[in-house]
Amino acid sequence: MHITSAFPEPIVKLNELSIAELRRLLDNREVSAQDVLNDIMGRIDAVEDRVGAYVTVTRDAARAMAERADSALAARRAGLLTGIPLAIKDNICTMGIRTTCSSKILYNFVPPYESSVTSRFAEHGYVLTGKTNLDEFAMGSSTENSAFQTTRNPWNLECVPGGSSGGSAAAVAANECIAALGSDTGGSIRQPAALCGVVGLKPTYGRVSRYGLVAFASSLDQIGPITKNVTDAALMLNVIAGHDPLDSTSAPVEVPDYASFLGKEVRGLRIGIPKEYFIDGMHQEIDHSVRSAIRQLESLGAVPVEVSLPHTAYAVATYYILATSEASSNLARYDGVKYGFRAKGKDLVDMYMQTRAEGFGPEVKRRIMLGTYALSAGYYDAYYKKGQQVRTLIKQDFDKVFEDVDVIATPTTPSPAFRVGEKATDPLEMYLSDIFTISVNLAGVPAISLPCGFTGGNLPIGLQIIGRSFDEATILQAAYAFEQSTSWHTRRPLL
């Protein structure tokens, strides 16, 4: 590649564009998919050693996909994502491309099959840039639990990007891809999106197929987009939403054109403000930004209503019983017998124990032990069963509030990005990072996080908008209205 000094640097680089903007340029043949990919790869070369967003950069696969995209564009057979470079969280299986879950135990696992979401992406012509870093098996809120590397927050390299989809959020924020997929079990899309100043959408449980998503907690896990703006989130959801015969928990509920809700006015939209999410002693700049955001929505005609979600206080405890119970079972298959890492052992049981002792990191082991305990004979009723009962109460809280309001607005996180290592030694403190996002997973409802301000230290702040089950359209509508009336989403970190 050569750069001629005769031309000035273009003001806008391709890597800085959104899906919607690139779609137009690509469809008009103003740029090729290979141009876009080259620019992204150049950006990765420039910043990746500082950000560490990727576990694997799939240069060869990307090049082949970009070539195919150009052929499709030339033949006027472009899909919604043809030629768009996207990053995939490394717990979503990609056929023939290593999928590690950022765990030593799967360091060499190459799936012989494709996840349903990436199959749909492929049908729509996407270009895979690589597999992004995460907290091992999506267990964590900082990406520090990766067995391979700690991803850094592009806004401040001393800080974490959040997690567990920290690699995807950082890659989007750093323009190392145009958009990405994450997965969200207790906030793993929304929290890193908030901390990295991008948009993250967790769809309703059952809206998007989980087939090919390596399970952490099956009743809570959901795949969703992490994007530069709300429009892109709607475009990505259009591709991945809908029933999948390979996932019995994916719902046969009709999928609207989410993009068609963008630009609809929010006049009269009732916004619930749950008092349990605005408490004494919370981070002042976050409190201030989120309240300003609500006023902004009010100025657009929305109607704020104070509401109560009385079982909020039990959400974190409930989550850590149910999620760990499911995880203890979901992670049993990593036993060294069939694939992945295997340690030597004196006999079968010893091989199991050594493999799992060496293959899993401390947080994963902690959760397996917690979950195993909660499901044990004599404890099941006190923990798992009770947890399910409280989960029902939490869900009923939301059902009740949604009788009165259309969406709920809260902060996404209790604090902005924290420093690498700051909470690494205190799991409980780390668990509280998800205090505002966890209830949403327990209730199964959809929620989006989008930028609504910055701290004095120039760290992004996220606004969370929660909706009714299968009503992603309304939260996208509200989020878009807010986004378009502010400029927070236009800010990019200097790297």
Partner 1 sequence: MRRNYEAVIGLEVHAQMRTNTKIFCGCPTTFGAKPNTQTCPVCTGLPGVLPVLNRKALEFTVKTGLAMNCRISPYSRFARKNYFYPDLPKGYQISQYELPVCEGGWVDISVDGETRRIGITRIHMEEDAGKNIHEGGSYSYVDLNRACTPLMEIVSEPDIRSPKDAAQYMRKLRTILRYLGVCDGNMEEGSLRCDANISIRPVGQKEYGTRTELKNINSFRFVEKAIEYEIARQIRIVDEGGTVVQETRLWDSAAGVTQSMRSKEEAHDYRYFPDPDLTPIVVQQSWVDEIRASLPELPDAKQARYTSSFRLPEADADQLTAEQAVALWFEAAVAAGAPPKAVANWMMTELMKHLNDENRPIEECPVQPARLAGLIALIEQGIISGKIAKTVFEEMYATGRDADSIVKEKGLVQISDSGAIEQAVDDILAKHPGEVARYREGDEKLLGFFVGQLMRAMKGKANPQLANELLKKKLV
x-or-dash pattern for partner 1, window 171-210, by CB under 8 A? ---------------------------------------x
Q: What is the DSSP string of 279-324?
A: -TT--HHHHHHHHHHHHHHHHTT-EEEEE--TTGGGHHHHHHHHHH
From 352, 339, 375, 424, select the one nearest 103 (Cα to Cα). Answer: 339
Query: Which one of the spans 71-79, 103-111, 193-201, 293-301 is the region binding partner 1 (CB under 8 A)?
Result: 103-111
Residue 89 annotated to the active site: yes
Tokens of 306: 């104070």
End-to-end CA distance of the chain: 22
**Which residue stretches of 52-104 are H helix?**
59-74
Q: Does 225 bind partner 1 (CB under 8 A)?
A: no
From 428, 442, 431, 435, select the one nearest 414 (Cα to Cα). Answer: 435
Residue among 101, 193, 290, 481 that touches partner 1 (CB under 8 A): 101
Q: Which of 32, 89, 104, 168 is catalytic?
A: 89
Cis, bond preceding 164 (omega within 30 deg of 0)? yes
Residue among 246, 282, 303, 495 that touches partner 1 (CB under 8 A): 246
Q: How many residues bind partner 1 (CB under 8 A)?
A: 45
Query: Which one of the spans 91-99, 163-171, 310-318, 416-424 is the region binding partner 1 (CB under 8 A)?
Result: 91-99
Q: Which residues pair with 86 in a beta bridge?
A: 128, 179
Q: Does 372 bind partner 1 (CB under 8 A)?
A: yes
Q: Does 70 bind partner 1 (CB under 8 A)?
A: no
Query: Which one of the spans 291-299, 304-312, 329-337, 448-456 is the region binding partner 1 (CB under 8 A)?
Result: 329-337
Residue type, 80: L
> Which phi-psi region, left, alpha or beta, contains residue 269 (left: φ > 0; alpha: ψ -120 to 50)?
beta
Nearer to partner 1, 326 or 472 (CB): 326
Q: Does 337 bind partner 1 (CB under 8 A)?
A: yes
Q: Does 109 bind partner 1 (CB under 8 A)?
A: yes
Q: For residue 281, how many other CB atoms are within 10 A of its CB? A: 7
CA dist., res. 430 & res. 141, Å (int): 7
Q: Which of 102, 103, 164, 449 is catalytic?
A: 164
Residue 385 annotated to the active site: no
Residue among 69, 215, 271, 443 that touches partner 1 (CB under 8 A): 215
Residue 415 annotated to the active site: no
Tokens of 185: 């079990």
Q: Which of 102, 103, 183, 188 is catalytic?
A: 188
Q: Does 107 bind partner 1 (CB under 8 A)?
A: no
Q: Does 245 bind partner 1 (CB under 8 A)?
A: yes
C-alpha pair distances (Å), 195 with each of 24, 154, 172, 462: 29, 10, 12, 7
Residue among 15, 102, 115, 185 that touches partner 1 (CB under 8 A): 115
CA dist., res. 28 & res. 22, Å (int): 10
- List interacting residues with partner 1 (CB under 8 A): 91-93, 99, 101, 106, 109, 111-113, 115, 210-215, 217-219, 245-249, 325-326, 328-329, 331-335, 337-339, 348, 352, 372, 375-377, 380, 384
Catalytic residue list = 89, 164, 188
